[in-house]
C-alpha cells in the first residue's frame, strides 16, 4: 500500500480519477489505546463499524483483544484474521446453525439474547453447554443519541424478570447488556440505562456477572461536538459500582464508531458544478451512505495546491450514479470558487463509510493510501492537546 504525507500530496502528484480512501493507522492506534487504558472495564470492538482486516490487526496490536461480532461471516473473518481473539456474538437474533458453528468450530462462548425463544435456541444449538456467557439485552431509550437503536432489539423491562431467571439457570456467567443508540451526545444516556439495569436485577433477584453498556460512544462531526469521553467513562463507572451485582462482576463496552471513525477519510474529485451542487465521484452507494440517508454531515476541505481565499459557502453533493437518491444534502461548507477538477477530502469515514460501499451502477473504488497527517477532526487529539497544555509550567 502506498504512503503519502497528506491528501494534498496524493492529489497533486497523481490526480486520481477514482475516489481514494485515505487511511491513518496512527489514529486507530490512538483510539484503541485510549479505550484499552481508560475505560474502567473491558472494551470489545464492534466489527460491523469497519471490518477491514488491516484495521482489526491495528486494534489488536493496540490492546483490543475482544470483538463484538454480529454474524457468522464476522465470526469467520475474525477467526481467520485474529485467531487468538475472544469473540462475543452479540446479535440478539441468530440462526441456530450460526450459533452451533460459532460454539463448536470457532470457540465462541458469549452470546446475547432478548427472548425466551432465543435462549432455547442457544441451549439447543450448543447441546446444553455449561460454559456459556449469556447476556440478556434490555431495551433502553435512544433519546440522547443521534441514531436510535431502541425499536428493533431488547426485552421490555416487564419481561426481564422471567428471562433473567431462566438464563441464570443455564448460564455459567449471566450478563445484562443494552445499547443507547449510535452517537450518544451525553453521558446521561448511560446513567439512565444503568437505572433500568438496576431495576431488572432487583426485580429478578439474580446474581449478575457481566454488565455490558454496549456502544454509542461518539465521535466528533460538524454540529456534533460531544463532551470528552472520560466523562462518559466516569458516569458509567460510578453507576456500575453502585449496582447490586457480584463482587467479581465485569464491566464491558462495545465501541465501534469511536474506535474507527478517525481511521479513514475519502478523497473525491468534483466532476461538475451546478450552482450550489457539486457532482463528485463517490456518494450514497459508496462511502457516503450516512450523508445521504440520515443527513449526516462530515468535515470537508478543498484540496488544492494554491489555497483558496474565497469565502466559504454551503454546498450539497450528488454522487456518480444515475439515481436521484444519490444526493447528500449537507450542507458542506467549502470555498465559493470550488470547481470541476478540484479535489475534496471528506473526513471521519472510517466508521460505516468503508463498510457500506456497494458496486451499484458500476461505480466504486477500492483504492487505498496511507497518509501520515492527522484526521480532520479528533476527540483523542484534542484531549491530548488539553492534557499537554495543562502540564505547561507557568513562571
- Residues recognised as catalytic: 322
Secondary structure letter of residue 392 according to DSSP:
P
CA 53 to chain centre: 15
Q: What is the C-alpha to C-alpha distance for residues 47 and 75, in angstroms, rounded to an integer? A: 10
Q: What is the C-alpha to C-alpha distance for residues 78 and 258, in angstroms, rounded to an integer? A: 20
How would you class 309 by CB atoms within 10 Å of its CB: exposed for 0-12, middle for 13-18, buried for 19 or more? Answer: exposed
Q: What is the C-alpha to C-alpha distance for residues 186 and 58, in angstroms, rounded to an integer? A: 28
How would you class 63 by CB atoms within 10 Å of its CB: exposed for 0-12, middle for 13-18, buried for 19 or more? Answer: middle
Q: What is the C-alpha to C-alpha distance for residues 259 and 211, in angstroms, rounded to an integer? A: 20
All three cell numbers of 58, joined, read 491495528
Phi-psi region of 214 (alpha: psi -120 to 50; beta: other; left: phi over 0): left
How would you class 370 by CB atoms within 10 Å of its CB: exposed for 0-12, middle for 13-18, buried for 19 or more? Answer: middle
All three cell numbers of 99, joined, read 450459533
Amino acid at each position: 500500500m502506498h504512503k503519502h504525507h497528506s491528501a494534498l500530496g496524493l492529489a497533486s502528484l497523481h490526480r486520481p480519477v477514482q475516489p481514494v480512501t485515505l487511511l491513518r493507522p496512527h489514529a486507530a492506534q490512538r483510539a484503541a489505546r485510549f479505550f484499552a487504558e481508560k475505560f474502567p472495564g473491558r472494551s470489545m470492538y464492534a466489527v460491523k463499524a469497519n471490518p477491514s482486516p488491516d484495521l482489526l490487526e491495528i486494534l489488536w496490536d493496540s490492546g483490543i483483544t475482544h470483538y463484538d461480532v454480529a454474524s457468522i461471516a464476522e465470526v469467520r473473518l475474525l477467526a481467520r484474521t485474529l485467531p487468538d481473539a475472544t469473540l462475543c456474538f452479540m446479535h440478539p437474533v441468530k440462526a441456530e446453525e450460526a450459533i452451533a458453528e460459532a460454539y463448536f468450530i470457532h470457540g465462541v462462548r458469549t452470546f446475547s439474547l432478548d427472548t425466551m425463544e432465543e435462549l432455547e435456541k442457544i441451549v439447543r444449538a450448543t447441546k446444553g453447554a455449561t460454559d456459556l456467557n449469556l447476556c440478556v439485552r434490555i431495551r433502553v431509550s435512544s433519546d440522547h443519541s443521534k441514531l436510535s437503536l431502541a425499536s428493533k432489539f431488547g426485552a421490555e423491562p416487564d419481561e426481564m424478570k422471567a428471562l433473567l431467571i431462566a438464563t441464570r439457570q443455564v448460564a455459567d456467567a449471566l450478563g445484562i447488556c443494552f445499547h443507547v443508540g449510535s452517537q450518544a451526545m451525553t453521558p446521561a444516556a448511560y446513567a439512565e440505562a444503568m437505572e433500568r439495569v438496576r431495576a431488572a436485577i432487583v426485580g429478578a433477584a439474580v446474581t449478575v456477572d457481566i454488565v455490558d453498556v454496549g456502544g454509542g460512544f461518539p465521535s466528533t462531526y460538524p454540529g456534533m461536538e460531544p463532551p470528552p469521553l472520560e466523562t462518559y467513562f466516569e458516569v458509567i463507572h460510578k453507576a456500575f459500582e453502585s449496582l447490586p451485582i457480584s463482587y467479581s462482576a465485569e464491566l464491558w463496552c462495545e465501541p465501534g464508531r469511536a474506535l474507527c471513525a478517525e481511521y479513514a477519510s475519502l478523497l473525491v474529485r468534483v466532476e461538475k458544478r451546478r450552482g450550489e451542487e457539486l457532482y463528485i465521484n463517490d456518494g450514497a452507494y459508496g462511502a457516503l451512505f450516512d450523508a445521504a440517508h440520515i443527513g449526516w454531515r462530515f468535515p470537508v476541505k478543498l484540496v488544492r495546491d494554491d489555497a483558496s481565499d474565497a469565502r466559504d459557502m454551503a454546498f450539497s453533493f450528488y454522487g456518480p450514479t444515475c439515481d436521484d437518491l444519490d444526493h447528500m444534502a449537507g450542507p458542506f461548507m467549502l470555498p465559493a470558487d470550488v470547481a470541476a477538477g478540484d479535489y475534496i477530502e471528506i473526513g471521519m469515514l472510517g466508521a460505516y463509510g468503508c463498510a457500506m460501499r456497494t458496486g451499484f451502477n458500476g461505480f466504486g473504488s477500492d483504492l487505498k493510501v496511507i497518509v501520515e497527517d492527522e484526521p480532520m477532526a479528533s476527540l483523542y487529539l484534542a484531549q491530548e492537546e488539553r492534557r499537554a497544555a495543562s502540564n505547561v509550567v507557568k513562571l
